[in-house]
Structure 1
Amino acid sequence: MRVFLAVHLPKLPLEVFRPKWLPEPAAGSVVFEKDKVVIADAPARAAGIRLGMKRGGVLTLSAGVLMVERDMAREAAAQREAGVALMRFSPDVALAEEATVIVEIGASLKLFGGVRALCRQARAILEALGFTARIGIAPTGQGAWLLARYGNRRVLRLGTLERVLLPLPMHSVPQTRPFVDWFAGLGCATIADLRRLPRAGLQRRCGEHVLDSLDRAFGTAPELFDWLTLPSTFSARLELPDRIEHADGALFAAHRLIVQLCGWLCAKQLAVTAIVLSLEHERGRQAMAPTILEIALGEPAWQETHLLRLLKERLHRIELAAPMIAVRLDATKVEAAAPPAEQLFPEPGGSAQSHARLLELLVARLGEDHVLRPAPTADYRPEVANRWVPLGEQHAKAKGTLPEGLPRPTWMLATPVRLLTRAHRPFYGSPLRVVSPAERIEAGWFDGELVTRDYFVAEADDKSYYWIYRERVSSRDADEGPRWFLHGLFG
């Protein structure tokens, strides 16, 4: 069964300049085309500004209103951005007339949880892009277009679609607008009135386009779409509506770019392993190079929430040397996406992918030098063998391993702590009782850092376990008595 999702962007001429996530100017905003108002926001309408007003009348009513000239190129680019973002649901996306995007979602309904869940996700995507949206769903693309423009309904059956479309106004079909006066003279006001007219006479008077549009809407004629094609690489740039002096302020713009990236990845069936966010600064004599944020992922990813969280943490940690005016996102490394593992029972403790995402988030939040992983060295001395390196650093694996069965603590102290001795027993909060045989370590003679120690596992009165050692003393130091040190704690 073919099902189409149509998304109409009614405020696109205004929202390409002032996205929804920006606060409205106190005096409002209006867009002009040929010196006449074509759209105005709520504060401007409250001031009395109406569609069709000229610039002088607008200034008379509200001198502080923000006035911009309509930019059709920017609107076309924004419509394409919405189409790319909606490719998360299907690769079959078409850009239709009057700021509408059509997506064939019949094969995706079950995957995304049904019609209502898919509509909620589509609205969330468009909200992230900063666009107001009206959504229609129908078994025909033209029918979904009409519902998004005028009905804002969800219909899955052709019989129901016919009942919903018939009461719509006649001018909702774009091909009828050149003949609106002639139709009005015939007493036609709705689509139902049009369909009652003789087809032969209607075709002679208006051409074949009116009948073809109606037939496609009602499912009696085949539909052909010019599906959106994507470039082989992803690079998107967004100009900011205002100068932004703090990196955190770029998060909304970065979110908009991430939404597009996820749509591109889903359509291409790819996952990203490295992205670059460029924060472009003002141009001029003292122009600065863009601030670059390079993010390398440990595991391929395509989830919007994970990528956005990484960017948020990185943006929070940087300071801008100059205000930024634009943001660019590039996917520098991609690979084929792995299919999801369909298992009856979830992995205990989470999957390897969830662990990798957690580590990436910690690196983004704390910095590469503060998230370490073990890289033990082939050395018998614990303080030398216990080596930790940054998560992304490559190192050669240690050759040789310690004999199995030797106890090693969960927490190794960077510097051993000398212990008190009471009644010839080591003391750390309470007397410590040795519960293991000695493990003798003699090493370091080859590099001048000789150690001669006997290690033990010791138990305290509260059942805590410690890793302690006793220094072996030479014959000339025998009068000092044994010296005990704490070197680690067991979990």
Structure 2
Amino acid sequence: MCAGVSRRVISLWFPRLASDRVLRHGAITGPFALTLTEQNVNRIYCLNTSAERQGLHRGMAFSDARAFCPDLQSRPAQPEMDQQFLAGLRRWATRYSPWVGIEGDDGLVLDITGAAHLFGGETMMLTDLRQRLDGMGLNVQIGLGDTRGAAWALAHFAEGVAPAGEMLASLGPLPVAALRLDADTVTALKRMGLRSIGQLAKAPRAPLARRFGSGLLMRLDQALGQQPEQISPQQEPPHYGVQLNLPEPIGLEADVMAGTARLLERLCRKLEDRQTGARMLKLTLRRVDQQARNVELRLARPMRDPALILSLFARNIGKVDAGFGIDHMRLEATQVEPLRPEQVSHSHSDREVGLDDLITRIGTRVGLENIQRFLPADSHIPERSFMIVPAASSRAESFSAGSRPRPLIMFPPEPISASGPRPPQQFRWRRMRLTTLSATGPERIAPEWWLDDENWQRGFRDYWCVQTEQGRRLWLFHTPQNPGWFVQGEFA
């Protein structure tokens, strides 16, 4: 900061950020609210001014709100979308200052020290800021002061501007809650008769420190400028996108592939610089009639080899209708994963890479989510000892049955006619008459009582490995509680 220049901070509070975000895409006349389920109760998450005038408020049960306001319109809240929208507003606000941070879930903080003169002064900057936000359909409350705490207090409790060097005079009438204190501390201060910041600033500090700790006085000093508080601008996430403007429209598949190759070389250099690889790529081809055609590619492993990725693009690029020509191409890695340099051996890594490439090639035809693999699961119940997951998002793991063998083929239990606790000497299964040659067991498996599985409601099972004279090696079990015999698997 230059000598003689006082620090100035703007706080932007969007009290209806979530509802404003939704209503920007389609205006709704009358009461409107967003709802969110909390602890099995559907409550109001955010609402517009019309709903507030009807007496509704945040945290109110949605059923009660509908009783008070029968014409209330609602939609489910999407907090993750709200945070993405707030992040976009933060990037937009850098037009006023490079030092912009996010304040909580619904606010921004800007350090405009030395920047206000670029807009004709603080008044002109605030006017321009408000007009642009109003044009976006956003309700905003703005505070400006020497400190982050003072700007926040003004934005939330007395929208306005605190003259430079007069923080106590501006904040004195505001309630102590304007110091960003928790509810319990605010209640305790009110019981002591300290309701405003001015009263708190005049109170003896030692008793306050003993009772409330250093946090209370730290917030007071930060607001009045007696203790520094930094504003840390968020680092922009890396953008993995490249584009190519063509002087003349192209339409041949070979030309589109050549343009894609140039884009891939530039994109893969970006990926290599950040030691990442692409898992999902999107190629946008804009035609001269301003219509766009998208080609998406999903990979079974992170990759940054331009030649290999280009060969995978070839199939879908050939299906694109170029119309009267393509004059703009854009390639973006929409999902990336770490891919650091590593030394590989021909015995292991090459085999895995080859399998991933095969999954990718098949996935471009049938979809990666349709290629699945079996993985072991932590359960001693045979039916729950494995799970089926997409092969592209998982790694192969070896099954370990311990000291107990498990059949290669497993199917739902099939009943057979037999009695007694030991395997029958002769039985019929799948229209075959089989004779027991030898039997190994029993292995008793108890049900997992914490899971509601109707197939195991009969209780525990005694499993046997039965070798028949006909060559079949089957996995049988007996249920002592409700006597019966079943075949559930066959060994190789």
Measured against the shorter chain, the TM-score band is 0.3 to 0.5
TM-score scaled by length of structure 1 = 0.45
Q: Which has the higher contact order (CA 8 A, sep 6+)?
A: 1
